[in-house]
Amino acid sequence: MHRVLVPVDTNEDRAIAQARYVTSLPDASESVEAYLLFIFTDDSEDLPKDFKQFKSASRIGSVRRAQEHLEDHDIDVTVLEGSGDVEEGDILTRADEYDVDAIVLGGRKRSPVGKAVFGSVTQSVILNTELPVVVTGGGD
């Protein structure tokens, strides 16, 4: 079984692009197991207040849409959630915990200044793991 970790944020287009990549893997329905990861952050401005009360990843639209896409293509899916700062540590800890074979990230466009000021989770993950990392487009 080929296990992939798919960390998603609240952007549905990016989550679907990530799910599409997973379903495009050879013999995906027979040999791929996906772990969708959503991390709740304390300062998540784009998360509706209703979700903060329940904090369930399965209530997040991007998680649901990616899960539906994967399940429609007969991929085994497990939804994971966490809370705290979204840094490579959270993603890499889960990758290690679930013994995944690859990480599928959703890329987004940022200026060089934006990367320097806000950092880049994608860049951090790539630099701090020996696992293969695939960065999909934003889906727009």
Q: H or E stretch including 76?
A: strand 76-83
Q: What is the DSSP code string of 77-137?
A: EEEEEEES--SHHHHHHHHHHTT-SEEEEEP----HHHHHHH--HHHHHHHT-SS-EEEE-
Q: What is the DSSP code string of 82-97?
A: EES--SHHHHHHHHHH
Query: What pLDDT, on the 0 to 100 scale, is given for residue 117?
Result: 46
pLDDT in tens, 69-96: 999 999 999 999 887 766 656 899 999 9
Cα separation of 67 and 34, whole Å?
9
pTM of the model: 0.84
Least trusted range by pLDDT, from 3-12, 49-58, 83-92: 49-58
Q: Is the pLDDT of residue 105 over 90?
A: yes
Which of the two residues, 61 and 112, has the higher pLDDT score?
61
